[in-house]
Amino acid sequence: MLLDVRDLHVEFRTREGVARAVNGVSYAVDEGETLAVLGESGSGKSVTAQAVMGILDVPPGRITGGRVLFRGRDLLTLKDEERRRVRGAEMAMIFQDALSALNPVLTVGDQLGEMFVVHRGMSKKDARARAVELMVRVGIPAAAQRVRDYPHQFSGGMRQRIMIAMALALQPALIIADEPTTALDVTVQAQIMDLLAELQREYRMGLVLITHDLGVVADVADRIAVMYAGRIVESAPVHDLYKAPAHPYTRGLLDSIPRLDRKGRELSAIKGLPPNLMDIPPGCAFHPRCPMARDVCLTDVPPLYEVSGDRGSACHFWRECLHGRS
């Protein structure tokens, strides 16, 4: 297993209290596999990724438990220096907002080349040549000239390509992409997702794709982990999940999105709001919004029940949800 996150807990201490952002998340990604982590804002999907990458702001954040095994090594026990070496070289991250993730006062060539200078000890000239190669690889036209341009001179889609090139530079085994296409227009979004999928196949990387978009997930993911209130509520191969969700939250999400290929009358919305992380409901965190909730849901936190060999659902009534009429 390339990345194996086990029972991760993250808290944020704020003036108002402790926000429990991640409450026991476990997931695993293998080489060449795409795991989509799906969730709404506040579900803990990005915080989990930051903890895995080791870029969580501490304080206010704090990892209070769990392990992050990368090729069998627990990253959380590594020294800062070792951790830095893993980051960038073996695992890399792509952010949503490429404009703020790139340094505005350095040319893209310098920023790409820096990776090779720092991690590979290349000369400036060689590093520049590799930078151009990378820019060609991610589909930036006239790369040899544009390598001297600054980030703001590129369009949103081109900047996201440069981010991908940076993530790819040292050929990491794992890429974590946090909403990589959310800020982009649909036509550009399609270009970028295609590029990511293609590069992943080529280099056999593991890809953790963090998103709120069920459409994007369906297009590229192999497996999917649905997060709610800092926990994984359902984990399944992508085809199974869309065909028959085993958690009422997943089902609610699928039913609540309008479809391009049909005209709906009324969307079946999930009632209520996502929970306050400082005050997560007892029992199943989803129970106040759940149409299937019963007494046990108010008191007992559901474990991730095994639905079949490779799927799990954190719902006491997953069977009913899975086979629920209609």
Partner 1 sequence: MAGHEPILEVSGLVKYYPLTRGVLFRKQIGAVRAVDGVDFTLVRGETLGIVGESGCGKSTLARLLVTLERPTSGAIRYKGEDITRLSGRALKAVRRNIQMVFQDPYTSLNPRMTVGDIIGEPYEIHPEVALRGDRRRRVQELLDVVGLNPEYINRYPHQFSGGQRQRIGIARALALRPEIVVADEPVSALDVSVQAQVVNLMARLQGEFGLSYVFIAHDLSVVRHISDRVGVMYLGRIVEIGRDTEIYDHPTHPYTQALLSAVPVPDPEARERRERIILSGDVPSPAHIPSGCRFRTRCWKARERCALEVPPLAVPERFRAQGGPAAHDSACHFAEERRVVPPEEATPGHPPGQPPVPGGEPHEEPA
Partner 2 sequence: MPEQPQQPEGAIAGTGMGGAMDLAASEASTLERRPGGGGPRGTGPAGRPRSLWSDAWRDLRRNPVFIASALVILFLVLISVWPSLIAPGDPLACDLSKAQEGPRSGHPFGFDGQGCDVYTRTIHGARTSVTVGVCATLGVAILGSVLGGLAGFFGGAWDAILSRTTDIFFAIPVVLGGLVLLSVVTSNTVWPVVGFMVLLGWPQISRIARGAVITARQNDYVQAARALGASPSRILLRHIAPNAIAPVIVVATIALGTYIALEATLSYLGVGLKPPSVSWGIDISAASPYIRNAPHALLWPSGALAITVLAFIMLGDAVRDALDPKLR
Q: Applying CB under 8 A, which residues contact partner 1?
A: 40-41, 155-158, 185-191, 193-194, 212-219, 221, 238-239, 242-244, 246, 248, 251-271, 273-274, 291-292, 307-308, 317, 319-326
Q: How far is the CB of 178 from partner 2 (least distance, A)?
A: 9
Strand 91-94, strand 174-178: pairing: parallel
Pick one of 3, 12, 140, 314: the residue that binds partner 2 (CB under 8 A). 12
How many angstroms separate the CA atoms of 59 and 125, rounded? 39
**294: contact with partner 2 by CB under 8 A:** yes
Instruction: Give one DSSP letter per residue of 35-70, joined into a string.
Output: EEEE--TTSSHHHHHHHHHT---TTTEEEEEEEEEE
User: Which CB sits closer to partner 2, 12 or 154?
Assistant: 12
**279: contact with partner 2 by CB under 8 A:** yes
Q: How far is the CB of 62 from partner 2 (least distance, A)?
A: 11
Residue 105, contacted partner among partner 1, partner 2, none, CB below 5-8 A by kind: none
Strand 34-38, strand 206-211: pairing: parallel
| Residue 82-101 contact track with partner 2, rule CB under 8 A, x = bound | --------------x-----
**283: contact with partner 2 by CB under 8 A:** no
Helix (H) or strand (E) holding 178: strand 174-178
Please, are residues 65 and 7 in contact by the beta-carbon 8 Å criterion? yes
Give the CA dihedral 220, 30, 168, 201, nearest 10 degrees. -50
189: number of CA atoms within 13 Å, CB side? 16
Pick one of 33, 110, 179, 240: the residue that binds partner 2 (CB under 8 A). 179
Pick one of 215, 264, 272, 282: the residue that binds partner 2 (CB under 8 A). 272
Please, are residues 71 and 2 in contact by the beta-carbon 8 Å criterion? yes
Give the number of residues in contact with partner 2, rule: CB under 8 A: 40
Q: Which two tokens stand for residue 93?
A: 């991250």
How many angstroms separate the CA atoms of 225 and 35, rounded? 7
Residue tagged 């893993």 (tokens): 86
Residue 3, contacted partner among partner 1, partner 2, none, CB below 5-8 A by kind: none
Residue 308, contacted partner among partner 2, partner 1, none, CB below 5-8 A by kind: partner 1
Residue 36, contacted partner among partner 1, partner 2, none, CB below 5-8 A by kind: none
Residue 167, contacted partner among partner 1, partner 2, none, CB below 5-8 A by kind: none
The answer for residues whose C-beta is within 8 angstroms of residue 266's C-beta and 6 or more apart is none
User: Which CB sits closer to partner 2, 22 or 169?
Assistant: 22
Pick one of 23, 34, 46, 313: the residue that binds partner 2 (CB under 8 A). 46
Q: How far is CA 10 from CA 51, 147, 274, in A?
A: 8, 39, 18
Residue 46, contacted partner among partner 2, partner 1, none, CB below 5-8 A by kind: partner 2
**282: contact with partner 2 by CB under 8 A:** no
Residue 242, contacted partner among partner 1, partner 2, none, CB below 5-8 A by kind: partner 1
Neighbour tally for 145: CB within 10 Å: 9
Please, are residues 284 and 293 in contact by the beta-carbon 8 Å criterion? yes
**281: contact with partner 2 by CB under 8 A:** yes
Crossing angle of helices 156-168/186-203, nearest 10°? Answer: 10
Q: How far is the CB of 196 from partner 1 (least distance, A)?
A: 13
Please, are residues 64 and 26 in contact by the beta-carbon 8 Å criterion? no
Task: Give contact residues for partner 2 (rule: CB under 8 A).
Answer: 12, 14, 19, 21, 40-47, 60, 96, 179, 182, 212, 252, 255, 266, 268-279, 281, 287-291, 293-294
